[in-house]
Structure 1
Amino acid sequence: MQFKHPEILYFLFLLVIPVLVHLFQLRRFQKEYFTNVRFLKELNMQTRKSSKIKKWLLLFTRLLLLACLILAFAQPFFKASDDNNKSNEMVILLDNSFSMQAKGSKGELLKRAVQDILENTPEDQQFSLITPTNAYWDTDVKSIQKELQNINYGSIPFNPDFLITKAETKKPNTGKDIVVITDAVNLESQSISKLDPKSPVYFIVPEAQNKNNVAVDSVYIYQTLENLYEIAVDLKANGTVNDETSVALYNGKELTAKTLVTFDQPSKTLNFTIPKKDFHGYVSVSDNSLAYDNEYYFSISKPEKSNVLVIGDEAKNKFLSRIYTDDDFVFNSVQPGSVDYNSLEKQDAILLNELTEIPQALITTLKSLYEKGGNIIVIPSAEASVQNLNSLMAAFGNASLLTLNNNERQITKISFSHPLYQTVFERQIKNFQYPKVNNSFTIKGTALPVLSYADQTPFLASLTNRMGNVYLFSAPINKQNTNFQNSPLVVFTFYNMGQNNNKTGVFAYKIGENQNLIIDALLSKDEVVTVKNDVSDFIPMQQILNNKIKLSFGDYPETAGNYSVVKNENVLKNISFNYPRTESDLGLQNSNIVKDYTKTDSVSTVYNDIKSLRTASELWKWFIIGALVFLLLELFIQKFVK
């Protein structure tokens, strides 16, 4: 037991006064004579005995009365069990990721959590509130009421450890009461490793009532026809979706197509046919669960001709001229000694066809083109030096060639999932006429196999920097060495390798993945391009590359939608952005990992718990009650004890 005013305890010496009064209180008795004193003596003895008991009782009650009063004024108390954390600051970590759009018993989880904070936080309570997208430091409910009521959902995953680090950086070496409000969807143990179970950490985990959700996962070109694109739309059903789901395709605000889909399996792919021209729209599904993944925005540009340059012997280049036709390509073929280095930067793809020697100047130029989004295709010569070929490949990444092998080998495996073949095959083919090679190198390194031999080593492999691509053959493909030119694969393979990623395909980027885009444009020193739509705009990071611009989007834009790259009000290119689909599966709620922490149901419970644990047990009231009891006891003794 402790005292707020221990100095008052010195007054306990006053207890000596009643004792002294009791010991030295003397009474004089007067003698009275009676005719018969036998009865009076007996009565006198009884009276003196009861009087003595009464005095002792009064002494004890007065001592206890005085002691209780002194102790009450000293204000005794028992120290609170969590008194060491009494000076902690309150930090609320609020999950505003898209999974909090789900509806619980009282409405959307995020909105209900905000209402809980506003209604149950005391007005004088100072706290800091941190979300993955915002932070409000040392505030109160009145100051941030409007901000909380208008809080937006964000695409950034909820990571408590990152937010705690943010709070520690703001106020280091300060104790913290941490309240984490999250639905725990995709929450991993690594993301709460900095939360100490022994410290004041409270988890409020609201749960969605309906965990069934349909999401548009991706859109891509499934097949390219003469005047049409056949696009594929991948849909995913999380949970059990029994009802038919409406799927609509829009070009801008114009409805292009609409259909219904039934999910007899978790994934479905729908195909739509659109004209082979600019398309700037989205796919939409009707779903009563999460709203953020119901639209998938994408842009397809009208096909542009790609510039393809082949460096090699003219006779060996003839089969390529039949693939790179004037309809889709601007094709040029040059001899190794006649290369115009100034024109190489303008190419979308450069093919080295069995060069016996690759100059260092050419290697440097090819590396620069690759970094700017160009494609490099290397067909080695049997007469080339392995050291010279590996010097070229070292400029692009971890891929190299071993010594030439003179054994015949068959090409038996196709990587159907490789981007080069994604739009080529309707189904996987296991039995086809295997091409073969007589002489070949062996490719080593981390290059992805596109076509492979029976021994699983690559015949064709690729490297990428997410903008440009390098394709490396392991063997010369002239007719004397291989029959690959007669294979049906040859047209699709070289056609797709010649296409520039920045000129063809679906332009749909994920927000937050910091992807890059290279577009053909000339900018002066002070000019910039802007990415904008009807709602918002931003200026991306941009790098001028001669006649091209490299754009880096970072974490922008904040809102998914169709956008345009604009220079001086002129649209250079249409692109689209989508939220990552990481929050779509509400069945991934991982609330078990918070079992070591205090789990509660509302903010009010948190404050009540903290108050009860940090409020000292005041005892002065009990001593006042004791003093009153002893006062009444004294009065009772005075009146009834004879």
Structure 2
Amino acid sequence: MQFKHPEILYFLFLLVIPILVHLFQLRKFKKEYFTNVKLLRQLQQETRKSSTLKKWLLLATRLLLLALLIFAFAQPFFTAKESKNKENELIILVDNSFSMQAKGNKGELLKRSIQELLESLPETQNFSLLTNNNVFWDVDIKTIQSELQKIEYSALPFELDFLLTQIDSKKPNTKKDYLIITDAIGTNSKKIEDLNQTNQVYFINPVAENKNNISIENVTLSQVLDAFYEIKITLKSYGKTEEAIPVAVYNKEALIAKSQVTFDKTEKELKINIPKNSFHGKVTLQDNSLQYDNEFYFSISQPKKQNAIIIGTEEKNKFLNKILTENEFVVTNTELTKLNYSSIENQQTIILNEISEIPQALGTTLLSFYNKGGTIILIPSIENNIQNLNNFCKNFGSFKFLNTTDTEKQITKISFNHPIYKNVFEKKVSNFQYPKVTKSFIPSGNGLPILQFEDNTNFAISISNKIGNLFVFTAPINKQNSNFQNSPLIVPTFYNMSQSKTNSKTNTFTIGENETIIIDAILSKDEVVSITNKQNSFIPQQQIINAKVKLAFGDYPELAGNYNIKQTENTIEEISFNYPRTESDLNNTNTTLFNKTTTVNSIETVLNDLHSKRTDTALWKWFIIGTLLFLLIELLIQKFVK
């Protein structure tokens, strides 16, 4: 037991006073007995004994009464179990990812958690609060009440380790108590175990009542027809879905198509035809669970003619000119000696068609072209020097040519999953008229196979740096060396190799994945492009590459939707951004992450637990009660003890 005011205990010396008074009252006097009272002697002795007992009882009562009163004023107490942690800072981590949009028994999980914070935290409680994308340091509930009520759902995941690192950086030498509010959907942490060993960690796990959910996973351009685009909508069902789900396609605000999908399996694909025009719209569905994944924005640009240069002889270039028609391509045919190097940067595709040598200057120029997002197609000549070919290829990776072979080979294997053949075949073909080559090069090194010979060596491969593409054939395909020009494969192979990425896909990006795009734009020295829509605007990271601009989006924008890339007031390109679908599976809960923390059901429980563990047990009330009790005992002694 300890005392807040131990100096008051000096007043215990006052206990001497009732002792002195008692001793004075018990003084012995000499007694003389007269004859007329001798008969009362025995009765007087008995009365005197009773009076002495009463005085001793009164003395004891008064001593205890006075002692208890002095102890009460000294304010005795027992030290709390966690008295050393009284000054710990309260850190609250709130998950505001999209999975917290689900409904619990009292409404949306995030909104209910915010409301409980507002109702439970006392106005005098100082704390720091962090969400996926918001930080409030050293505040009280009254100060940030309006900000808390405006917290929106974030496309950023709840990364617990990142938040803990942020806290350690801001408050490195302070003791902390943690309150973590999350549904633990897809949440992982390497720091939580160490955190729990050195801090008091409380975990509140809001749980959704309905864990069934349907998500639009992707929208892709599956086929380009004469008057229509065919789009493929990929949907995914989490949990059990029995009813047909309505799906609608909008171009801006106009409804273009409606359909329904019934889930007899987890993932479904829905194909819809839309008019072959520039498209700036979205696909929507209706379900009773999460809302953020019920919309998918996508844009399709007006097809542009692609600029291509074919370097080779007129005779050998004929088959390529029949594939790359003037309706979709602006083709320049040139021999190597007449090539204008400065025109390369304005092209989308460069085809090296069996030229006998690749000059070093051309190789350097094409490497720069490739790094800026260009496409190169290399068809070797049997007259090529292997060392010359390898000097060119080494700039793009580890692929190289070993030597030549005169063994006739058949082209028997198609990589149906390669992007070049995406949506070309309705089904995998295993028996077709195999093209063949007479002479070829033996390749080595890395490259994504497109077509392969019967001996599993590569006939055509692709190499990419994510923005540029290099396609390499390992054999000449002139009619003297191969009948590949007569194969049905020739048209989709070269057409898709030469077609720009923006003409063969939707302009769709995922927020937070730091994707890039290269657009055609000529900017002055201090000029920048911006990305805007009615609700949002930002300036992306950008790099000028001659007549092109490379844009990197980082974590922007924060809101999904359709956007315009603008140079001053002119729209250069239409693009769309969507939230990542990482929160769609409400059953993807990490059930073991918080096993070693203190799991509670409410914020009020946390505050009460901290208060009870860290508040000293005051005893002065009990001493006051004891004082009053002995005062009552004294009154009873005075009245009833004779």
- TM-score using structure 2 length: 0.92
> Is 1:593 aligned to residue 593 of structure 2?
yes
8 A contact 1:300–1:507 mirrored in 2:
yes
For structure 1, the 5+ residue unaligned runs are none
Aligned to 1:485: 485
Give the letter for the 1:393 counterpart.
Answer: C
Deviation at 1:268, TM superposition (A): 1.1
Q: C-alpha distance in 1, partners of 2:467/2:428?
A: 27
Deviation at 1:56, TM superposition (A): 4.4
1:79-228 to 2 correspondence within 5 Å?
Answer: 79-190=79-190, 192=192, 195-228=195-228
Q: C-alpha distance in 2, partners of 1:177/1:570?
A: 53
Give the letter for the 1:232 counterpart.
Answer: K
Aligned to 1:441: 442
Q: C-alpha distance in 2, partners of 1:370/1:93?
A: 46
Q: C-alpha distance in 2, partners of 1:44/1:414?
A: 130
Q: C-alpha distance in 1, partners of 2:78/2:459?
A: 80
Q: C-alpha distance in 2, partners of 1:578/1:530?
A: 18
Q: For each residue in 1:56-96, what CA deviation from the matched residue of structure 2 results, as whole angstroms up to 9, or x when unmatched?
A: 44444333333322222221212222222211222221211
1:233-632 to 2 correspondence within 5 Å?
Answer: 233-404=233-404, 409-437=409-437, 438-445=439-446, 447-453=447-453, 457-632=457-632
Deviation at 1:574, TM superposition (A): 1.3
SS of alignment partner, residue 630 of structure 2 = helix
Q: C-alpha distance in 2, partners of 1:275/1:624?
A: 89
Q: C-alpha distance in 1, partners of 2:590/2:177?
A: 23
Q: Alpha carbons of 1:358 and 1:620: their partners in 2 closer, same or farther (altered >3 Å)?
A: same
Q: For each residue in 1:185-227, what CA deviation from the matched residue of structure 2 results, as whole angstroms up to 9, or x when unmatched?
A: 1112447466325512222211111111111111111122233
1:19-30 to 2 correspondence within 5 Å?
Answer: 25-28=26-29, 30=31
Deviation at 1:551, TM superposition (A): 1.9
8 A contact 1:301–1:504 mirrored in 2:
no
Deviation at 1:342, TM superposition (A): 0.5
Q: C-alpha distance in 2, partners of 1:194/1:370?
A: 48
8 A contact 1:529–1:567 mirrored in 2:
yes
Q: C-alpha distance in 1, partners of 2:479/2:64?
A: 116
Q: For each residue in 1:367-391, what CA deviation from the matched residue of structure 2 results, as whole angstroms up to 9, or x when unmatched?
A: 2111211112223344544444343
Q: C-alpha distance in 1, partners of 2:30/2:422?
A: 124
Deviation at 1:39, TM superposition (A): 8.2
Q: For each residue in 1:558-584, what CA deviation from the matched residue of structure 2 results, as whole angstroms up to 9, or x when unmatched?
A: 211111122232221111111111111
Q: C-alpha distance in 2, partners of 1:53/1:406?
A: 132
Q: For each residue in 1:209-260, what CA deviation from the matched residue of structure 2 results, as whole angstroms up to 9, or x when unmatched?
A: 1111111111111122233221111111111111111111111111111111
Deviation at 1:171, TM superposition (A): 2.6
Give the letter for the 1:122 counterpart.
Answer: P
8 A contact 2:401–2:441 mirrored in 1:
no
Q: For each residue in 1:31-63, what CA deviation from the matched residue of structure 2 results, as whole angstroms up to 9, or x when unmatched?
A: 32457969845x566556555554544444333
Q: C-alpha distance in 2, partners of 1:519/1:330?
A: 18
SS of alignment partner, residue 466 of structure 1 = coil
8 A contact 2:160–2:189 mirrored in 1:
no
Deviation at 1:14, TM superposition (A): 4.0
SS of alignment partner, residue 293 of structure 2 = coil
Q: C-alpha distance in 2, partners of 1:190/1:418?
A: 37
Q: Alpha carbons of 1:202 and 1:547: their partners in 2 closer, same or farther (altered >3 Å)?
A: same
Q: Alpha carbons of 1:494 and 1:619: their partners in 2 closer, same or farther (altered >3 Å)?
A: same
Give the letter for the 2:598 counterpart.
Answer: T
Deviation at 1:180, TM superposition (A): 1.5
Greater mean alpha carbon deviation, residues 162-171 or residues 375-384: 375-384
SS of alignment partner, residue 565 of structure 1 = strand
SS of alignment partner, residue 419 of structure 2 = coil
Q: C-alpha distance in 2, partners of 1:238/1:311?
A: 52
| Number of residue equivalences | 640
Deviation at 1:532, TM superposition (A): 1.7
Q: C-alpha distance in 1, partners of 2:222/2:137?
A: 50
SS of alignment partner, residue 427 of structure 1 = coil
Deviation at 1:173, TM superposition (A): 1.3
Give the letter for the 1:325 counterpart.
Answer: T
Q: C-alpha distance in 1, partners of 2:401/2:47?
A: 124
Q: Give the % identical residues.
A: 55
Q: C-alpha distance in 2, partners of 1:301/1:50?
A: 114
Greater mean alpha carbon deviation, residues 343-352 or residues 165-174: 165-174
Aligned to 1:31: 32
Q: C-alpha distance in 2, partners of 1:613/1:387?
A: 78
SS of alignment partner, residue 441 of structure 1 = strand
Q: Alpha carbons of 1:2 and 1:473: their partners in 2 closer, same or farther (altered >3 Å)?
A: farther
Deviation at 1:604, TM superposition (A): 2.0
Give the letter for the 2:301 counterpart.
Answer: S
8 A contact 1:132–1:157 mirrored in 2:
yes
8 A contact 2:301–2:502 mirrored in 1:
no
8 A contact 1:301–1:505 mirrored in 2:
no
Deviation at 1:507, TM superposition (A): 0.5
Give the letter for the 2:365 counterpart.
Answer: T
Deviation at 1:293, TM superposition (A): 1.2
Q: Alpha carbons of 1:20 and 1:451: their partners in 2 closer, same or farther (altered >3 Å)?
A: farther
SS of alignment partner, residue 297 of structure 2 = strand
Deviation at 1:348, TM superposition (A): 0.4
Q: Alpha carbons of 1:29 and 1:500: their partners in 2 closer, same or farther (altered >3 Å)?
A: farther
Taking only aligned residues, the RMSD between alpha carbons, in angstroms, comes to: 2.6
Give the letter for the 1:534 counterpart.
Answer: K
Deviation at 1:152, TM superposition (A): 1.6
Deviation at 1:315, TM superposition (A): 3.8
Give the letter for the 2:254 counterpart.
Answer: E
8 A contact 1:161–1:194 mirrored in 2:
no
8 A contact 2:402–2:441 mirrored in 1:
no
Q: Alpha carbons of 1:28 and 1:516: their partners in 2 closer, same or farther (altered >3 Å)?
A: same
Give the letter for the 2:510 counterpart.
Answer: K
Deviation at 1:176, TM superposition (A): 2.1
Q: Alpha carbons of 1:514 and 1:202: their partners in 2 closer, same or farther (altered >3 Å)?
A: same
Greater mean alpha carbon deviation, residues 511-520 or residues 411-420: 411-420
Give the letter for the 1:492 counterpart.
Answer: P
8 A contact 1:205–1:591 mirrored in 2:
no
Q: For each residue in 1:403-446, what CA deviation from the matched residue of structure 2 results, as whole angstroms up to 9, or x when unmatched?
A: 4456555544433332222221223333334444453323313x
Give the letter for the 2:28 counterpart.
Answer: R
- TM-score using structure 1 length: 0.92
Deviation at 1:462, TM superposition (A): 2.2
8 A contact 2:399–2:443 mirrored in 1:
no
Q: For each residue in 1:319-339, what CA deviation from the matched residue of structure 2 results, as whole angstroms up to 9, or x when unmatched?
A: 322221222212223323332
8 A contact 1:159–1:192 mirrored in 2:
no
